[in-house]
Amino acid sequence: MYDGRLIFSQLMDFLPRNQFNKCVQKYSGNRRIRKFSCYDQWLCMAFAQLTYRHSLRDTITCLKVLKPKLYHVGIRGPVSRSTLADANEKRDWRIYADFAQTLIADARRLYADEDFGVELDNTVYALDASTIDLCLSMFPWAKFRKAKGAVKLHTLINLRGNIPEFIHISDGKLHDVNALDILILEAGSIYVMDRGYVDFNRLYAMHQELAFFITRAKSNFKFRRRYSHPVDKSTGLICAQTIVLTGVKSKDAYPETMRRIVYRDLESGHRYVFLTNNFTLPALTIAQLYKARWQVELFFKWIKQHLRIKSFYGTSENAVKTQIWIAVCVYVLVAIIKKRLGIEESLYTILQILSVSLFEKTLILQAFSNDEDNDETGSLCNQLELFDL
């Protein structure tokens, strides 16, 4: 029988500790801290995420039961509810935001060759936002509506591996399209967005940065057709056109030509109108890429169901952002471990196994080797396809 290190400790071996320490040092996270370090805070919050704790009291109660084992996973400081609450309230959330970017860069390399259903050399991103409702009386800084608070997660997903490469946390009042102003674009990459991001000034700025966009047209946009191109209507394509905008404001906002592609889903019969500045990809590929955008919706639903970002352990803006960024770190860390260890199970299955085995003394791969249940009923693989909606 294996009598070595705990699974939780083995998981933390995959963390780039040097990079974590640099993030802590950059924001003086351990300044004037004697006992409960930022790494202790990270371990406690990661434990809460991995074991689905609903509150700080719940988290601390479980950790106290495991007190003889805490030293062996790296928790050196005394653990109490007030100590962890103070750490979440006062220590800069940017420590974990920067650390998440380090993990994301690592995951991106690991998933660079991942297949997402479309044969393409370009990097393809899906951009969307999701709102997390909050009680305005408890979270007065999270402005949304008159009697309702919320935070919004503006997220850019790399469709190769569904890795979040950009996340911006704002109050609920910030419109989705404003995320384009803070997004750092990559020339040659493809950005897939819904029609909430149709702003021709911003789309033209993307075009000038040599980035490609794919979005859906609004019902009232005005255009003039210049050319029509042949399409195979048996695939669901209705037409592929080169157009110019003719609206009073839009023709000045986007003065160049773009493509308009009309597609009807063969199963549902729904009709979709796509706009893009990419003139080289086949029209059917454009429709397939937009369909793949649904992965960002699944990402939001997945993390809301399986990570703790709907019930918060603190009410300040710093505490909320700290919890969200640590949840993102845990998600990406599990994705890294899955790839590096060659684990075939889904992220959902991995998290379920880890939630009940973190403090077991067994080799981490053995925790997954005896799992013969391939039932994915709890995962999101059974979600409706985009064009079935």
Domains of the chain: which residue ranges? Answer: 7-96+315-369, 195-282
The residue ranking higher by pLDDT, 45 or 377, is 45
Q: Which residues pair with 168 in a beta bridge?
A: 154
pLDDT reading at 228 higher than 90: yes
For the cut 50, the answer to whether the pLDDT of residue 373 exceeds it is no
CA–CA dist 349, 373 (Å, integer): 9
- What's the pLDDT at 344? 87
Tell me what percent of the residues of the chain surpass a pLDDT of 70: 94
Mean pLDDT of 86-96: 94
- pLDDT score recorded for residue 3: 55
Q: What's the pTM?
A: 0.85
- pLDDT greater than 80 at residue 4: no
Residue 106 pLDDT > 50: yes
User: Which of 136-150, 210-224, 349-363 holds the top average pLDDT?
Assistant: 210-224
Which range of 69-83, 253-267, 309-323 scores highest in mean pLDDT? It is: 253-267
Say how far apart CA 24 and CA 95 lie, in whole Å. 6
What would the mean pLDDT of 14-26 be, rounded to a whole number?
A: 94
The pLDDT, as a whole number, for residue 93 is 95
Lowest mean pLDDT among 158-162, 305-309, 316-320: 305-309
Higher pLDDT, 1 or 327: 327
Residue 370 has pLDDT above 70, yes or no: no
Rounded average pLDDT over 229-243: 93
pLDDT at 271: 93
Q: Tell me the mean pLDDT in the region 61-77.
A: 87
Taking alpha carbons only, the member of 197, 219, 202, 204 closest to residue 273 is 219
Task: List the beta bridge partners of residue 149.
Answer: 134, 143
The predicted model gives 119-145 an average pLDDT of 89
The predicted pLDDT at position 34 comes to 83
Quick: pLDDT tens for 26-44: 999 998 888 899 999 999 9
pLDDT, the chain, mean: 88
Q: How confident is the model at residue 20 (pLDDT cuts 50, 70, 90)?
A: very high
How confident is the model at residue 299, as a pLDDT?
A: 84
Give the pLDDT band of residue 78 (cuts 50, 70, 90): confident
pLDDT at 231: 92
- pLDDT at residue 121 in the model: 83
Instruction: Give the mean pLDDT of 346-356.
Output: 87
